[in-house]
Structure 1
Amino acid sequence: MALESSERPDRPITKFESMLKTDDVYFFDAEDFEDIIHHYLNNGKIALAKKGIKIGLQQHPASIELKLLKVEVMVFENNLVAAEKLLDELQLLDANNQEIYIQRANIYSKKDNHEGAVCLLQQALNLSTDGVDIYSLLGMEYLFMDNFKLARESFMKCVDFDEHDYSSLYNVIYCFEYLEDFDGAIVYLNDYLEHNPYCEVAWHQLGKQYYSKQMYSEALAAYDFAIISDDSFIGAYFEKGKVLEKLGKYTDAIENYETTISIEDPTSHAFLRIGKCYEKLQNSEMAKYYFYQTVHEDPLLDKGWLAITNFYYRIKNYEKALFYINKALNIDGGNPVYWKKCARIHVALKDYNQAYFSFKNAVDLGDYELSTWLKWAEVAQKNNDIEGGIQILKQGKAFYPNNLKILYTMVGLLLLAGDRINARIYLLDALKLDRETKKIHLFQKKFPEFGNSDWLKTIITSSKKG
């Protein structure tokens, strides 16, 4: 049964949902269906959008706009072949419809043909009256192509059209940051703020640019203006806290982090930063309290467990440090920093087998720091695995070919292995780099049994004569 317009609900969406709950049939203008469908698409209610399209096309079978919305859903659901077929039919009916080119561009983008998508969007731009939505799509395509300069230009056009388009503003700044053009971002944001002096988003972003350039006073001023513009802007308080930390003003930093907690529900990141501030203030009990609050708030925040690990490591409670580093590793077992910390804890506990295993994992995961190679080799030596230590240092030497610590340690391990020939070769290489023998103490301290040997004195003397 169809109802007269006077009997229908006033709002199209309410009316449409009322119709779905009954056997009644309501008639809508095509434009009403478009509004209904857009509402559901914007809210991620795809099933209801599809119902709207189906009923809409039953009532308005010739509507190109409703068919284009059908295409949009098809593209979203990756039904690309059917979408292209319907677009071909629509193009015969309305060759100058910009939305046809936009949807074709979306299909090209789905197929990773971003250059083709850009060409289609530029054609759509020629048919458009303002093109702001198209510039936004162009910006995203350029991002896919890693063309950050053109992406930036596209998003700038969106901001020019609508100064409150903060999504595009963020994308503009993202492009500046990726290009490491912090000065350019600062100039752009200051110009933007000339026209929008109370835009907290822009002040916040400006503060981040100053922070990147270590211009901490300017960053603080920017965050203060963001807070003046919106005194409930949590991000500004948090970033201001980070700047105050850099300036060593830990008490003030704590105050800003606590403000974020008072405005909204506490976050693990705020607790973690407060804990680190108390740590800098040498207030161990408060630091520990907030580190535990961090992991209580978010048990999966591995940085929280690492903070607790470091706390106990500093006070030499290695058993507890080991317990908590394992918590971090259970969350992110692919983090070389955690494996290295685990190795150092095992060294402190004199569990050299586990220390060896942990250092190996750290290196396998990409930790090639000099200290890692030296400590790993030292652990191998403590395990009486001299050959293993030699092989470790050979790997380390590939990264640090002229490092005297590696060369002198290699000499000592080769002597322990009874290989005086290769020990002499490595010692001569070290002495060439260390002409004044100012670093020979590295060898003598680590290997006192060879430090004052005639073998060493003879080689040093002959190298100086040479």
Structure 2
Amino acid sequence: MNEPSEERDEILATVRRFERMMDEGEPVFFDLGDFETLIDHYTANTLYDRALQACEAAVAQYPFSNELLVDRAQVLAMRGEYDAALAQIDEVATREPDNADVAVTRGIIATQRGDIAAAVGYFEQGIARSPDRDDIYFNLGLAYQQWQKFKSAARNYKQSLRINPDNDAAIQELLYCLEVSGRLEKNLEFFRRFTDEDPYSAIAWYNLGQAYYKAGRYDDAADAFEYAIVIDPKFYEAHSYLASTYVSREEYRRAIEEFDLSYPAGEPTAEALCNIGECHEKLADWQKARLFYQKAIDLDPEMDEAWFGIGVILDAQEKWFEALHFYRKAVTLYDESAEYWQALAAAEYQVGNVVSAIEAYERATEVSPDTPEAWINWSAILYEQGNFDAAIDLMRTATDLQPADADLQYRLCAYLLAAGRYRQAYDVLENALLLDFDKHRLLFEYFPELEQQRALTRLIDQYRK
């Protein structure tokens, strides 16, 4: 969270020196603190192979450090090597049986193995031995969250934050649990209390801003982020969140200004450049949007959002052949986005690649079965091809998956009517009218001639309130 640039530079210098020595096979000598820094850096960035290399080098130099052996056990667990991790932590337990990290590491391993009840027990042991450590409460929260006990998870995340308000991971998980359980609005006071207790804490205002943002209270969120920035003008994450708040308020020019301040001068991040590109896209400034998306790709060729963004720009200009290249690249980089697959499908259809369009819509519904637009657009292609039965079968599948979606019901009704299956159509129509009467106009948008069918209009009138 918001590391001072000098501290960040020191960490990266240590990392570069370690990697150079490892790559060149030189002897590696660091003090204990530097090794801890290396291991923390690699684990935070999920670079577990490098983290294990750092652990091995550290243990070779400091074989009697229990802290390093604990680190090694935890890294092994993160790599899925549970038996080796347990053997390592058992060795620490023989040396120091009351070490809280022994219980914590056993809890982490149990969590990753899915034995949540055991994990909770281990973390509670750790808290009994060391009640002032925020990381133990955080791990206990993660275990409860995996168990889908969101109230218990939130309680432990809160305790973690009382001990260490700077724990950004705890904030993110707490906000998620409160959102999922529908309790965010009721818990805003928890976040406000930190700013009341320390009104000059940039972190407290930043955390409050995040809570307001998640609750959809964008004006309050903007105020909180602005307070954080007044206290610490180089609080880059606060600038980024303030920019996102402006995006939510559709104030794209103000958002661009803040995204420009969300990184150290001259050190733009691919994410910031991509966000600026999206703001220009919303302003329909295609040239600038493409420029910033391309800059993001130059910095990070794996940034799927930027590839997709260029596709969207070309699509908006009806340059579908060109858009296809960028959409295909986006789904190659991240194939779990229904939005990407739908955009690709629509572009494929525009250039006449009907089979490819159908395949892309099918993939969109696999990724996100609860996306009505994908089912509707896929069925529309089948219908336009004259394949009424296939379109009807597809919409039946969609309505089975989402029985409460009126749009799908009306679309199915329209296809049944077009196929002459009137009794089935009227049964579906009754369901649709009960779900959302006003949307019956969709039927007449699909087929204007239906307004002349008296039996249909009589049935609709029966449900008119």
Q: Cα distance, 1:103 vs. partner?
A: 1.3
1:263-278 paired onto structure 2 within 5 Å = 263=265, 265-278=267-280
Q: 1:221 & 1:312 partners in 2: Cα distance?
A: 36
Which TM-score applies when normalising by structure 1?
0.71
Q: Cα distance, 1:304 vs. partner?
A: 1.3
Counterpart pick for 1:345 among 347, 356, 381 = 347
Match in the other structure for 2:206 = 204
Q: 2:457 & 2:68 partners in 1: Cα distance?
A: 87
SS at match of 1:145: helix
Counterpart pick for 1:72 among 46, 58, 70 = 70
Q: Cα distance, 1:98 vs. partner?
A: 2.7
Q: 2:56 & 2:261 partners in 1: Cα distance?
A: 42
Aligned residue pair count:
395
Distance change (3 Å), C-alpha of 1:103 and 1:210: same
Q: Cα distance, 1:80 vs. partner?
A: 2.6
Match in the other structure for 1:166 = 166
My pick for the range that moved more, 71-80 or 214-223, is: 71-80
Distance change (3 Å), C-alpha of 1:108 and 1:383: same
1:185-196 paired onto structure 2 within 5 Å = 185-196=187-198
Match in the other structure for 2:389 = 387
Q: Cα distance, 1:410 vs. partner?
A: 2.1
Match in the other structure for 1:407 = 413
Contact in 1 for aligned 2:225/2:241 (Cα 8 Å): yes
Match in the other structure for 2:243 = 241
Match in the other structure for 1:63 = none
Q: Cα distance, 1:53 vs. partner?
A: 4.7
Q: Cα distance, 1:400 vs. partner?
A: 4.3
Q: 1:211 & 1:269 partners in 2: Cα distance?
A: 19
Q: Cα distance, 1:385 vs. partner?
A: 2.9
Q: Cα distance, 1:407 vs. partner?
A: 0.5
User: What is the identity, as a one-letter code, of the residue corresponding to 1:218?
Assistant: D
Match in the other structure for 2:47 = none
Q: Cα distance, 1:143 vs. partner?
A: 1.9
Q: 2:416 & 2:231 partners in 1: Cα distance?
A: 62
Distance change (3 Å), C-alpha of 1:451 and 1:223: closer
Q: 2:122 & 2:457 partners in 1: Cα distance?
A: 77
Contact in 1 for aligned 2:238/2:262 (Cα 8 Å): no
Contact in 1 for aligned 2:311/2:326 (Cα 8 Å): yes
Q: Cα distance, 1:81 vs. partner?
A: 4.0
Contact in 1 for aligned 2:379/2:394 (Cα 8 Å): yes
Q: Which protein shows a greater Rg?
A: 1
SS at match of 1:132: coil
Q: 2:302 & 2:383 partners in 1: Cα distance?
A: 36
User: What is the identity, as a one-letter code, of the residue corresponding to 2:70?
Assistant: E
Distance change (3 Å), C-alpha of 1:248 and 1:153: closer
Match in the other structure for 1:178 = 177
Q: 1:83 & 1:463 partners in 2: Cα distance?
A: 72
Q: Cα distance, 1:50 vs. partner?
A: 2.4
My pick for the range that moved more, 184-193 or 250-259, is: 184-193
Match in the other structure for 1:429 = 427
Distance change (3 Å), C-alpha of 1:215 and 1:349: same
State the Cα deviation string for residues 114-134 of structure 1 (Å, max 9, x = none). Answer: 544554555565566xx323x
| Structure 1, unpaired ranges of 5+ | 1-34, 57-65, 92-96, 416-422
| Structure 2, unpaired ranges of 5+ | 1-29, 40-53, 77-83
Distance change (3 Å), C-alpha of 1:428 and 1:246: closer
Greater relative contact order (Cα 8 A, min sep 6): structure 1 or 2?
A: 2
2:285 counterpart of 1:283: yes
SS at match of 1:265: coil
Which TM-score applies when normalising by structure 2?
0.71
Percent identical: 16
Q: 2:121 & 2:441 partners in 1: Cα distance?
A: 66
Q: 1:314 & 1:343 partners in 2: Cα distance?
A: 15
